[in-house]
A = this chain, B = another copy of it.
Amino acid sequence: MLQNDIFLRAAKNQSKDRTPVWLMRQAGRILPEYRKVREQAGDFKTLVTTPELACEVTIQPVDILGVDAAIIFSDILVIPEAMGLIYEMEERKGPVFPKVIQNEADIKNLHIAEAGDLQYVLDAITLTKKALNNRVPLIGFAGAPWTIFSYMIEGGGSKTFSKAKKMLYTHPALAHLLLDKITESTINYLKGQVKAGADLLQIFDSWAGILSPEQYREFSLKYIRKICEAIPDVPKTVFAKGAFFARQEMNQLPCQVIGLDWNMEIAESKVMLFSKVLQGNLDPCALYGSLEDVRRETRNMLDQFGHHPHIANLGHGLYPDTEVDKVKCFIDTVKEYSVTLR
């Protein structure tokens, strides 16, 4: 059905042609076309909750950049909101929760989200699938329970995440209660995304890197596993930023693809994650170099992945001040150079 299914085939380790390529945060930020729609929407949350607009910016990078997959334009924080914690997106500062989780009563008051609570995302997916018209597959996504948990306790970003981590040490049973509720909500949500048309799901564990290896096992990996097990129907990618210490265990996760950040040595990761397709991992700052620099760094990355099943991406989301022609150069280099490696 799909005209370009190279991304999906690679995710299932069935590709023998070139390396597919897409970029985390490809929808938004760097594209003038995005900023126009964003302005029209007025604010970030209107953009996220208006299916027509979310659909439009989701498709932009497919048209403009030529990526091999679209990822639905949304935010991982729609889940805490669907559970009862409203977030606000502050310009330049990022997300802020005016009310945070502080005790058992707060956790008990939280609602377990149903897919229907996030109908606007499901509608955006349905609309986007139709508009994509089978050109490329569509990625759905959610935050990992530990990352969502951190936001719900901290109320925003943090340098140390000491409030969220404090709960793990002082009230581990409460922490598990909250993580369970988030996990159940996320499973309901992701099942809805698959029903609406998502071809692959990616789980983002943005704050994986602040936990010790033992705590990561107990408070994060366990819940990621639950999510993967609950949704066998589509391929799944797990991207746990900073969880270098968990790579050997992630090789056992019931998912197909593991995302690497740019800190993770490729050669070492190929050994530790031998049964997984690997996604990543160019340093987003490498796109600040000249076109020649970008070409060299991209080729160097492809050489290092070699014959390991690979989906090209950055090791983190695109930074807002990246120039569009550098992004195009990255994409084109992957497409051209990876053919020569087969």
Answer whether residue A321 sits at the interface, using C-beta atoms and an 8 A cutoff: yes
Among B160, B209, B268, B290, which residue has its beta carbon within 8 angstroms of that of A263? B209
Whether the pair B160, A319 counts as a contact (CB closer than 8 A) is: yes
How extensive is the interface on chain A, given as a class?
A: 20 to 34
Among B170, B209, B285, B321, which residue has its beta carbon within 8 angstroms of that of A168? B285
**For residue A288, which residues in chain B have a CB less than 8 angstroms away from its CB?**
162, 165-166, 169-170
Copies in the complex: 2
Whether the pair A293, B169 counts as a contact (CB closer than 8 A) is: yes
Cα of A55 to Cα of B171 in the assembled complex, Å: 39
Answer whether residue A262 sits at the interface, using C-beta atoms and an 8 A cutoff: yes
Answer whether residue A283 sits at the interface, using C-beta atoms and an 8 A cutoff: yes
**For residue A283, which residues in chain B have a CB less than 8 angstroms away from its CB?**
165, 212, 215
Answer whether residue A232 sits at the interface, using C-beta atoms and an 8 A cutoff: no
Cα of A157 to Cα of B160 in the assembled complex, Å: 13
Whether the pair B245, A285 counts as a contact (CB closer than 8 A) is: no
Chain A, residues 260-299, CB within 8 Å of chain B (1/0): the string is 0011110010000000000000011110111001000000
**For residue A289, which residues in chain B have a CB less than 8 angstroms away from its CB?**
169-170
Whether the pair A263, B245 counts as a contact (CB closer than 8 A) is: yes
Cα of A143 to Cα of B159 in the assembled complex, Å: 19
Answer whether residue A213 sits at the interface, using C-beta atoms and an 8 A cutoff: yes
Among B162, B212, B268, B316, which residue has its beta carbon within 8 angstroms of that of A321? B162
Q: A245-B263, A245-B264, A293-B169 are in contact. Are A319 and B209 (CB under 8 A)?
A: no
Answer whether residue A242 sits at the interface, using C-beta atoms and an 8 A cutoff: yes
Residue among A165, A169, A209 facing the most chain B CB atoms (10 A cut-off): A169
Whether the pair B209, A169 counts as a contact (CB closer than 8 A) is: no
Answer whether residue A244 sits at the interface, using C-beta atoms and an 8 A cutoff: yes
Within the complex, the shortest CB–CB distance from A181 to chain B, in Å, comes to 22
Whether the pair A169, B285 counts as a contact (CB closer than 8 A) is: yes
Residue among A159, A285, A293 facing the most chain B CB atoms (10 A cut-off): A285
**Chain B residue at smallest Cβ distance from A169:** B289
Q: A162-B321, A319-B162 are in contact. Are A286 and B169 (CB under 8 A)?
A: yes
**Chain B residue at smallest Cβ distance from A319:** B162
**Chain B residue at smallest Cβ distance from A262:** B212
Cα of A157 to Cα of B158 in the assembled complex, Å: 12
**For residue A160, which residues in chain B have a CB less than 8 angstroms away from its CB?**
284-285, 316, 319
**Chain B residue at smallest Cβ distance from A283:** B212
**For residue A169, which residues in chain B have a CB less than 8 angstroms away from its CB?**
285-286, 288-289, 293
Whether the pair A162, B242 counts as a contact (CB closer than 8 A) is: no
**For residue A209, which residues in chain B have a CB less than 8 angstroms away from its CB?**
242, 263
Cα of A122 to Cα of B121 in the assembled complex, Å: 61
Where the two chains meet, the residues of A that have a C-beta atom closer than 8 Å to any C-beta of B are: 157, 159-160, 162, 165-166, 168-170, 209, 211-213, 215, 242, 244-245, 262-265, 268, 283-286, 288-290, 293, 315-316, 319, 321
Cβ contacts A to B, 7 pairs, < 8 Å: A160-B284, A160-B316, A162-B285, A169-B285, A169-B286, A209-B263, A245-B268
Q: A157-B159, A160-B316 are in contact. List 6 more A-B contacts (CB 8 A).
A: A165-B288, A166-B285, A170-B289, A209-B263, A213-B263, A244-B245
